[in-house]
Amino acid sequence: MHLLNFSRYGIFLFLAILLGQLPALSQNENKKWYFGANAGLDFMTNPPTIVTGAMLSQEGCSSIADANGNLLFYTNGINVWTATHTLMASPGALQGNPSSCQSGVIVKQPGSNTIYYIFSNMANFGAPPNGLKYSIVDMSLAGGAGSVTAINIPLVSNTTEQVTSVRHFNGVDVWVMTRSMSASIYHAFLVTSTGVNTISVQSNINANGAGQVGSIKFSPDGLKLAAGLSNVNLDIYDFNTATGQLSNHMALTCPPGNNACWVEFSPDGSKVYCNGWSSAQITQFNLCAGSPTAVAASGVNIMSANPAGCLQVATDGKIYVAHSNQTFLGVINSPNLVGLACNYVNNGQSVAPNQSRQGLPNFITSGFAPPPTQFTTTIGTMTNGIGCMTASFTSPPPATLAALGCSAFSGSLTSMLWNFGDPGSGSSNTTTISHPIHQFSQLGNFTVSLILNYNNGTFFDTIQQVLNITLPCISVSSTSITCANLGSATVTALGGVGPFSYTWHPSAQTSSVANGLSPGTYTITVHD
């Protein structure tokens, strides 16, 4: 009797990988702008295309598109218009105001394809302060045009005209921030898949004065908050996207102006821009200059022209500047660069025949962040030794783990946490090592997240990729060996979708059964 030895291999056919950071999908949601007197811009093209809307708003407004960049609706804080520029069905008027610097912001409910929240602020200039409220839009109604199903649900009273929003560090949930009339108190409300948490995270922190009128903005990376006030003071804070807390107050001064101070960050978060409501100046501060004294001394006047209004960064990496009653916007073409190198052009973008007013639409600021350096993924194959339905991951180099504007923000990486989005794998679903290997428990889509912790929780960053596991590995089992003068062997292919092809080596037979085998070692390759 002769013994035949077989080594068995399968071809690993299983992963089609879709790369890209999930929050980047929200960039298209910020590409339809409606503002001013029927004015609009469509940033799905470069340069943006001039479009016409139905809205009149002196200042605050907000608009939103879907993940493909198709307009859904827009609002001036009172009325809501559909994608066909007709008034959306609603049980009443929203209690925002188009004369509020930031009359509202629109937030999609995480995990939903149809539910949106409109957060609204009243105008407070010359009027008693009101508060932040939210209304609900259901885009599944009215044949997909959407309807307002609930209005003016109160969150907090006695707030300023300031409201902004940014992604939670998990890359999914959203923080909505507003400011109390007590200048030192900020309220951060978390929006999750279960709705709006009506209990805010409060930060009672120093402020550079008090006021009713102004704007607040998060940097696109979520690490900073800038708050401009009617007394032309500017507050800069660090923001913890995991806890919702503000810290490390820094006081700056905007150029003189009558009322509001408009603010905006450069896309990389390294510069902050501000101007007074009727000031013919825009000032840039370099947040990478060093100490607070050095940052304050870095202020450069980059515009001396027509009185300017709202500053709003766009997905093309430029900052657009409202000019009231004009058929154009100013443009800061290179806002990441220092001083006059930022290249401000006063008549930089036409909106003719429509007109700008003092406001531009308010968005979730995370949609303007430059894409982070991705982690790398290696898929298991027959030859690389990683294994069936398994992938290997490598974190980016520490110096480039986040899109941080400068070393003043970067701090040190304290720890990292991988979440493979695979609860079926039990305790193997998470790990803290920098180069993990994970075997997935089943077929399907998996969102793999790398959560980065800087300075012991001072701030966090999240990078994500989507893996679509479509085909399982093919393995070989149930080997039957018949020993005789010339042996035979039978193999059974497991997994895959079939029909299967077989190749025996060195006999070159091509079925699951090989006959007439002399003693020796044989290799069987199986593939779909």
Question: From first to last of its 528 residues, what are the pLDDT tens digits of the chain?
Answer: 222 333 322 332 222 223 333 344 468 999 999 999 999 999 999 999 999 999 999 999 999 999 999 999 999 999 999 999 999 999 999 988 888 888 899 999 999 999 999 999 876 654 555 789 999 999 999 999 999 999 999 999 888 889 999 999 888 899 999 998 876 799 999 999 999 999 999 999 877 666 677 899 999 988 899 998 776 688 999 999 989 999 999 999 887 655 557 899 999 889 999 987 666 789 999 998 888 999 999 999 998 766 778 999 999 999 999 999 999 999 999 999 999 999 999 999 999 999 999 999 999 998 887 766 788 888 766 556 676 678 899 988 764 434 445 544 455 778 889 999 999 999 999 999 989 999 888 878 899 999 887 777 666 677 888 887 766 666 666 566 676 667 787 777 665 556 778 888 888 888 888 887 887 787 877 776
| CA quadruple 33, 36, 40, 46: dihedral, nearest 10 | -70
Distance of CA 198 to the CA centre of its chain: 22
Determine how many CB atoms are found less than 10 A away from the CB of residue 464: 22
Please give the structure tokens belonging to residue 48.
């943006």
d(Cα 467, Cα 469) in Å, to the nearest integer? 6
Residue 380: both structure tokens together: 């298991």
The pLDDT value given to residue 256: 66
SS (H, E, C) 80-117: EEECCCCECECCCCCCCCCCCCCCEEEEECCCCCCEEE
Task: Note the Cα 505 to chain centre separation in Å.
Answer: 52
For the entire predicted model, the pTM comes to: 0.76
Q: How far is CA 361 from the centre of its chain?
A: 17
Cβ distance 454 to 412 under 8 Å? yes
The confidence score (pLDDT) of residue 378 equals 81
Phi-psi region of 68 (alpha: psi -120 to 50; beta: other; left: phi over 0): alpha
Cα 451 to its chain centre, rounded Å, is 14
DSSP 367: G
Count of Cβ atoms closer than 10 Å to residue 102 Cβ: 29
Alpha-carbon distances of 39 from 96, 264, 322, 354, 391, rounded to whole Å: 20, 21, 11, 5, 49
Q: What is the pLDDT of residue 464?
A: 84
Cα distances from 492 to residues 356, 475, 501, 505, 523, in angstroms, run 71, 8, 11, 16, 14
DSSP classification of residue 112:
-
Q: How much is the pLDDT for 259?
A: 55
Burial of residue 502 (number of CB atoms within 10 Å: 0-12, 13-18, 19+): middle
Q: What is the pLDDT of residue 33?
A: 98
Torsion angle of C-alpha atoms 513, 516, 518, 521, degrees rounded to 10: -10
Amino acid identity, position 98: P
What six digits make up the tokens of 373?
A: 């350096």
Pure H helices in 50-98: none
Helices then strands, counting H and E runs in the chain, come out as: 2, 41
Residues 6+ apart with CB under 8 A from 389: 14, 380, 439, 440, 469, 472, 473
Q: Let me know: does 461 contact 169? Beta carbons within 8 Å.
A: yes
Angle at 139 (CA atoms; ends 136, 142), nearest 5 degrees: 110
State the pLDDT at residue 9: 29
